[in-house]
């Protein structure tokens, strides 16, 4: 991993956020020196493959794609550092990343677009502000977008996730069957791959690092994906250790169950705040 490919936001007090320009993937978020994100010990940093862990940026497709790579191309190509890390008056640190259409992206998906991704590192929070702009004069495009966040946990079986009760979900472990969630907290004890629709703007995950809670707040991300490969599917991934599944849970804010339709000259904005409680 060449030094030039990594950008570090440093707030002081051992609170940092590291972004790999390959996919603008957040690969580390430390609060008082405690890592909050899971990255597999077998993750590949070859500038080609998506990074297994942290927060890969899924755009313009979620899931398998007839035109190109699963989960789109944004997590597979190098982004630009639009604004280098800068300390704000509040003491927080901000950086801005951007991605525009290129010969490569247009060879897969022939639209002009501009993405900006603004990260702000606060004392116990990480803020994500995303804008997608359609600069075309006449072409409308549609897309999915999702932040594929891998949270680090001591034991996923002890985590509880709020904000899903009453929501409809698509269960990808049961051939896409649709169910309604009755539980006030969701727990994970097996292979789990669910798209929860029209979820609450806030989720809390219990028993993350050091037994603390993680709050997820989201805006304009209608869906929440919950994923853990369990042993069954950990074995299928060359870049994920067979024994690593108990130490991660993916709780992913996204707009994936229906596409965003973006008219010429318009923009779509979405955001997420992660907070260690």
- Verdict on whether the full-model pTM lies above 0.95: yes
d(CA 26, CA 51): 10
Tokens representing residue 161 in the block: 């996730």
- Is-contact 270 130, C-beta < 8 A? yes
Domain-wise residue ranges, the chain: 6-154+230-276
Q: Distance from first CA to last CA of the chain, Å, rounded?
A: 32
Please tell me the predicted confidence (pLDDT) of residue 156.
98
Q: Is 149 helix (H, G, I), strand (E, B) or coil?
A: coil
Burial of 116 (0-12, 13-18, 19+ CB in 10 A): buried
Decide if 187 contacts 157 (C-beta within 8 A). Answer: yes
Q: What is the pLDDT along the chain (277 residues), one digit of tens a residue?
A: 444 699 999 999 999 999 999 999 999 999 999 999 999 999 999 999 999 999 999 999 999 999 999 999 999 999 999 999 999 999 999 999 999 999 999 999 999 999 999 999 999 999 999 999 999 999 999 999 999 999 999 999 999 999 999 999 999 999 999 999 999 999 999 999 999 999 999 999 999 999 999 999 999 999 999 999 999 899 999 999 999 999 999 999 999 999 999 999 999 999 999 999 9
Q: Could you give the CA distance from residue 67 to residue 81 in angstroms, rounded to a whole number?
A: 27
Angle made by CA atoms 182, 187, 190, in degrees to the nearest 5: 110
Longest dimension (CA), the chain: 52
Place of tokens 């985590």: 159
Three-class SS state of 87:
strand
Q: Report helix, strand or coil for 112.
A: coil
Helices (H), the chain: 103-108, 230-234
Task: Write out the two tokens for 178.
Answer: 């649709």
75 annotated to bind ligand: yes
Which pLDDT does position 4 carry in this prediction?
63
The token pair at 147 is 């932040």
Neighbouring-strand partners of residue 94: 86, 120
Is residue 70 a known part of a binding site?
yes
- How far apart CA 176 and CA 192 sit, in angstroms, is 12
Output the CA–CA distances (angstroms, integers) from residue 47 to 23, 41, 57, 78, in the order listed.
9, 17, 15, 8
CATH 2.70.98.10 fits 6-154+230-276, yes or no: yes
Q: Are 232 and 217 in contact (CB under 8 A)?
A: no
Instruction: Evaluate the omega torsion of the peptide bond into residue 60 and state whether it is cis, within 30 degrees of 0.
Output: yes
SS (H, E, C) 13-39: CCEEEEEECECCEEEEEEECCEECECE
Spatial separation of the C-alpha atoms in residues 247 and 260, rounded to whole Å: 33
- The residues that are catalytic are 148, 252
Distance of CA 151 to the CA centre of its chain: 10
């Amino acid at each position: 991993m060449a030094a030039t490919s990594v950008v570090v936001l440093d707030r002081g007090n051992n609170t940092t956020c590291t972004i790999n320009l390959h996919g603008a993937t957040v690969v580390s978020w430390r609060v008082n020196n405690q890592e909050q994100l899971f990255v597999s010990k077998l993750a590949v940093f070859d500038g080609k493959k998506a990074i297994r862990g942290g927060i890969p940026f899924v755009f313009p497709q979620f899931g398998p794609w007839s035109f190109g790579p699963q989960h789109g191309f944004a997590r597979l190509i190098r982004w630009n550092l639009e604004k280098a890390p800068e300390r704000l008056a509040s003491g927080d640190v901000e950086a801005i990343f951007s991605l525009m259409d290129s010969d490569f992206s247009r060879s897969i998906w022939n639209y002009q677009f501009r993405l900006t991704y603004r990260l702000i590192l606060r004392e116990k929070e990480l803020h994500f502000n995303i804008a997608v702009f359609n600069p075309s004069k006449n072409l409308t495009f549609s897309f999915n977008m999702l932040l594929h966040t891998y949270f680090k946990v001591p034991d996923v079986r002890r985590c509880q996730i709020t904000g899903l009760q009453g929501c409809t979900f698509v269960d990808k472990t049961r051939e896409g069957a649709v169910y309604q969630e009755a539980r006030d907290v969701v727990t994970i004890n097996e292979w789990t791959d669910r798209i929860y629709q029209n979820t609450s703007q806030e989720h809390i995950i219990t028993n993350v690092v050091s037994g603390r809670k993680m709050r997820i707040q989201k805006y304009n991300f209608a869906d929440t994906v919950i994923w853990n490969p369990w042993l069954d599917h950990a074995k299928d991934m060359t870049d994920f250790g067979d024994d690593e599944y108990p130490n991660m849970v993916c709780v992913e804010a996204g707009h994936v169950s229906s596409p965003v339709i973006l008219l010429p000259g318009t923009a779509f904005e979405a955001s997420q705040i992660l907070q260690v409680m």
